[in-house]
Amino acid sequence: MSPEPQRVLVVDDELGMREGCRKILESEGYVVVTAEDGQAGWEAYQADRGFIAAFVDIKMPRMSGIELVEKIRAIDDDIILFIITAFASIDTAVDATKKGAYGYIPKPFTPDELLMPFQHGLERRRLAMEAKRLTREREDRLLELAFERSKSGAVLQCMADGVLVVNAERRVVMHNGSAARMIDGLDSLPVPFDLSALPVPALADLIDTSLAHAGPSIETRELRVNDRTMMVNVSTLADSATTRGAVAVLRDITELKKLETAKSMFVSMVAHEVKRPIGVIEGYLNIVLSGLSHDPNKDREVLERSLIRARSLRQLVTELMNLTALETGHFTAKRVPVDLKEIVDEAVDACRDRAAEKGVDIDVLWPDGDALVVMADREAMQTAIGNLVDNAVKYTAGQSPVAVEARRVGATIRVAVMDHGIGIEPADQVKIFEEFFRVRNRFTATVPGTGLGLSLVRRLVELHEGRISVASEPGKGSTFTVILPAAEETRCAAN
């Protein structure tokens, strides 16, 4: 049968029996190992373990055959065990089979009387092992299947998107945790439940409509579900013309929608802010072209005003580009040690002419001689501080002075820019850092501004782990303070 000779153990205290069995079995091609009592048989079994069968005498010294059968059976399911007995009685046979023997062979026996039950036993062993193998295989498959199922179940449960499965009878047969979180009351419905019981009627309608279609289809719609905006995809499961069910996938797009709204608001604000100076320039140019004024001086004045508005429009576009660069991450700050004293000096110098024109003095104060070095992008600092000084000059009332104070406070550098202008109402103090917000009143109407300067300053300062704040009293003036982390001492020294 098999290329490897199969081994059989024979345990009997009678040498004649042992050798008789050996002869019969060897003639059939088996390899026979013999032992002269139960204990020796047990030792032989343990030394080999590869036996397909064992013939065991009942009455033996040291260890009885029944005991040996019991011991072997306890650790080996597959071996075929035969009891050989001279005292054949039903009781011993029953006892032996209870202990795990396949059968018994009464002494004396002919070769056939030994071989016949042996062959039966082997066949049974083969069948039992085959059945076992099949069972094991099936169990493996089931395990695999269960694993697959739990895997897809886990994937479904872990999905951020809500999933609802509806069958052709319009019953919700499954949903995942995200769906339960998105739809209030879904968890309290025992699955399966009727689609019409779904707490979101619009979703139920959409699924119902999809199911009504013949053949596969995908419907996509935006739905409000519990005050959130959901992008709902309903795809039907269908083969040829029969629709078997539908899967609805809900994706929460509330934040995306908010972003979209903010974006279009921003675009329309930009459009408005750009349109405003263009309208003015157009109006002025028409006045000149139509010769309405009949006064060359007046025309010149109008053209100068147009120029101012054109410049502020250009400023607006520059600031918009800077802001967009910051927003999209295209602005890369080149951090180097920067002395804020230099930056303040440059900013003040840049505003000197305009201040002088207005008759405004700019006082620069360095209360202590400390180095005011920050790790920063030089250009960004120029823009930020420059904007603040420029604003102070623009908004200070009449000829009242503007002051810039820079000092080290602990591990920070603080730059304060003070004006004595109209001040800012408490309600507006937060809004002034928002894009396009401008305080509108009689005074600010004559001050050109884009509404982007302070929001740009705030973003630049925050990019440098800094903070900007405003302290203001209406009618008295405002102080804008920028706080930036000071550069390390070692870097200051190196600088």
Partner 1 sequence: MSEQHSDTSRLVVVVDDDPDWQEIEASRLEGEGYRVERFFTAEEALAFMRDRTPRLIVSDLMMERLDSGFDFAGRVRSDPRLARVPILIMTAAAAKRGFDLSPQNSDDLAAMGVDAFLDKSENEDRFLEAVRRLIATSGKEARP
Residues making contact with partner 1 (CB under 8 A)? 261, 264-265, 268-269, 271-272, 275-276, 279-280, 282-284, 286-287, 290, 292-293, 302, 305, 309, 440-442, 445-446
- Smallest distance, partner 1 to C-beta of residue 358, A: 17
- Smallest distance, partner 1 to C-beta of residue 225, A: 24
Return the number of the residue (121 or 277) whose C-beta is nearest partner 1.
277
**Both structure tokens of 202:** 């619009």
Q: What separation in angstroms does the CA of 291 have from each of 279, 297, 299? A: 18, 12, 8
**Both structure tokens of 253:** 């797009």
Return the H-helix or E-strand segment holding 469. strand 467-473
Gap between the Cα atoms of 41 and 30, Å rounded: 18
Gap between the Cα atoms of 274 and 277, Å rounded: 6
User: Which residue shows structure tokens 């091609």?
Assistant: 29
- Smallest distance, partner 1 to C-beta of residue 444, A: 8
Across the beta sheet with 53-57, what order do the strands follow? 31-35, 7-11, 53-57, 80-85, 103-106
CA-based end-to-end distance of the chain: 92
- Smallest distance, partner 1 to C-beta of residue 275, A: 6
Q: Is 23 left (phi over 0), alpha (psi -120 to 50) or beta?
A: alpha
Is residue 437 within 8 A of residue 458, CB to CB? The reply is no
**Both structure tokens of 466:** 């800094």
- Smallest distance, partner 1 to C-beta of residue 449, A: 12
- Smallest distance, partner 1 to C-beta of residue 259, A: 15
3-state secondary structure of 359: coil
Return the H-helix or E-strand segment holding 219. strand 218-225
- Smallest distance, partner 1 to C-beta of residue 266, A: 10
Return the number of the residue (247 or 274) whose C-beta is nearest partner 1.
274
Return the number of the residue (90 or 445) whose C-beta is nearest partner 1.
445
Return the number of the residue (309 or 414) whose C-beta is nearest partner 1.
309
- Smallest distance, partner 1 to C-beta of residue 306, A: 8
**Both structure tokens of 20:** 């008789």
Buried b (16+ CB within 10 A) or exposed e, 320-348: bebbeebeeeebebeeebbbbbebbebbb
Residues 6+ positions from 489 with CB-CB distance below 8 Å: none
Return the number of the residue (294 or 334) whose C-beta is nearest partner 1.
294
Return the number of the residue (240 or 441) whose C-beta is nearest partner 1.
441
Return the number of the residue (310 or 336) whose C-beta is nearest partner 1.
310
Q: Is 176 left (phi over 0), alpha (psi -120 to 50) or beta?
A: beta
State CA 287 to chain mean position distance.
61
Return the number of the residue (89 or 268) whose C-beta is nearest partner 1.
268
Return the number of the residue (82 or 284) whose C-beta is nearest partner 1.
284
Identity at 46, one-letter amino acid code: Q
- Smallest distance, partner 1 to C-beta of residue 407, A: 37
Return the number of the residue (136 or 305) whose C-beta is nearest partner 1.
305
Is residue 115 within 8 A of residue 28, CB to CB? The reply is yes
Return the number of the residue (174 or 287) whose C-beta is nearest partner 1.
287
Return the H-helix or E-strand segment holding 237. strand 228-239
- Smallest distance, partner 1 to C-beta of residue 160, A: 30
Closest alpha carbon to 82 in 58, 60, 101: 101
- Smallest distance, partner 1 to C-beta of residue 256, A: 17
3-state secondary structure of 251: strand
Return the number of other C-beta atoms located less than 10 Å from residue 441's C-beta.
Answer: 9
State CA 41 to chain mean position distance.
64
Closest alpha carbon to 480 in 381, 384, 383: 384
Return the number of the residue (161 or 273) whose C-beta is nearest partner 1.
273
Residues 6+ positions from 446 with CB-CB distance below 8 Å: none
- Smallest distance, partner 1 to C-beta of residue 293, A: 6
